[in-house]
């Protein structure tokens, strides 16, 4: 793993929650194979749960109150493939560290940072988003920087999340996800945060670009607690806007920022996400 001093976690065989999603999903074996992947991919937010347990070991429970995890995904994994989290060993009073995930054979799956309190220098906040010229886009051509993806009210589906816990689908689960926590009731894992901050805005994104986007997949995700934790028992106001659009030879990508406020109007958690659309899978490129 190079010269960096890592604290290595245990291997965990992450699960593909959406293996039965059917055609049109990157998590479906046949669809993913046609696009050059080894099989249906494990979503990045599923791997983020594995990071959370490691970050509580490094920073303590305060990570769920004021901590962030900022990741760029480098290589996809498939169902039950063993991966481990590695975190930089922090110096005294160090509040941002490098983090990474590696497959059992050493292939790096993701890279980024974790921080406390100040998230302005996180891996995705300092990353060049490489904005694309609108004239070069087909899938994301209708989008503009700053465009709203909508305002939503979100309540967690606690029964579905508990079923995932009970069937072993949550990577490195913490007892705080299902029972009492230092903040009272059960708290949201990183995968739940992503579902809240990505799922509702996707309705606005789909409305904007139509059904010609083709197959999408997560390219990068940052979740940052500002006044956490996020409690499963509460309802949150979610909003999102477009931060940038970019492209590569094989993909068009949208970066968008999401926020969630509690019932008092207090900012609780934010997200920055990069969502990739495979050009080959879109009718606009056929």
Q: What are phi and psi of 130, to 5 degrees?
A: 50, 65
Structural domain of residue 83, as residue ranges? 6-285
CA distance 133 to 245: 8
Three-state secondary structure readout of 56-117: HHHHCCCHHHHEEEEEEECCCCECCCEEEEEEECCCCCCCEEEEEEEECCCCEEEEEEEEEC
Mean pLDDT of 181-196: 92
CA distance 11 to 191: 19
Q: What does the pLDDT look like over 214-240, one tens digit per residue?
A: 777 888 999 999 998 999 999 999 999
181 contacts: CB under 8 Å, gap ≥ 6: 175, 187, 229
Is cis: bond before 285, omega within 30 of 0?
no
Q: What percent of the chain has pLDDT over 70?
A: 87
pLDDT band per the 50, 70, 90 thresholds, residue 32: very low
pLDDT band per the 50, 70, 90 thresholds, residue 31: very low
Q: What is the CATH number of the domain that holds 93?
A: 3.10.129.10
Burial zone of 28 (CB within 10 Å; 0-12 exposed, 13-18 middle, 19+ buried): buried
Report if residue 1 sits inside a domain: no
Q: What does the pLDDT look like over 52-91, one tens digit per residue?
A: 989 998 999 999 999 999 999 887 777 768 888 899 888 8
- Which range among 29-33, 51-55, 128-132, 261-265 shows the weakest confidence by mean pLDDT? 29-33
Burial zone of 237 (CB within 10 Å; 0-12 exposed, 13-18 middle, 19+ buried): middle
Report if residue 80 sits inside a domain: yes
Residue of 80 and 165 predicted with greater confidence: 165
CA distance 245 to 171: 31
Indicate whether 2 pLDDT > 70.
Answer: no
- The tally of domains found in the chain comes to 1
CA distance 5 to 271: 28
């Amino acid at each position: 793993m190079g010269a960096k001093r890592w604290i290595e976690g245990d291997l965990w065989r992450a699960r593909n929650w959406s293996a039965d999603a059917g055609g049109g999903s990157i998590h479906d074996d046949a669809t993913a194979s046609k696009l050059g992947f080894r099989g249906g991919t494990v979503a990045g937010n599923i791997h983020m749960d594995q990071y959370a347990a490691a970050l509580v070991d490094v920073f303590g429970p305060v990570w769920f109150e004021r901590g962030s995890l900022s990741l760029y995904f480098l290589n996809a994994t498939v169902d039950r493939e063993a991966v481990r989290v590695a975190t930089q060993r922090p110096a005294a009073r160090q509040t941002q560290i490098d983090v990474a995930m590696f497959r059992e054979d050493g292939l790096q799956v993701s890279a980024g940072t974790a921080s406390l309190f100040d998230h302005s220098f996180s891996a995705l906040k300092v990353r060049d988003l490489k904005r694309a010229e609108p004239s070069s886009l087909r899938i994301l051509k209708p989008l503009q920087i700053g465009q709203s993806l909508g305002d939503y009210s979100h309540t967690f589906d606690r029964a579905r999340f508990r079923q995932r816990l009970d069937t072993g689908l949550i990577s490195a689960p913490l007892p705080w996800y299902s029972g009492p926590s230092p903040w009272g009731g059960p708290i949201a894992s990183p995968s739940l945060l992503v579902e809240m901050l990505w799922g509702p805005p996707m309705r606005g994104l789909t409305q904007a670009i139509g059904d010609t986007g083709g197959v999408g997949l997560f390219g990068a995700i940052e979740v940052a607690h500002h006044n956490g934790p996020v409690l499963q028992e509460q309802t949150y106001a979610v909003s999102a806007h477009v931060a940038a659009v970019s492209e590569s030879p094989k993909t068009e990508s949208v970066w968008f920022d999401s926020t969630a406020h509690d019932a008092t109007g207090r900012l609780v958690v934010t997200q920055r996400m990069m969502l990739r659309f495979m050009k080959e899978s879109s009718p606009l490129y056929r």
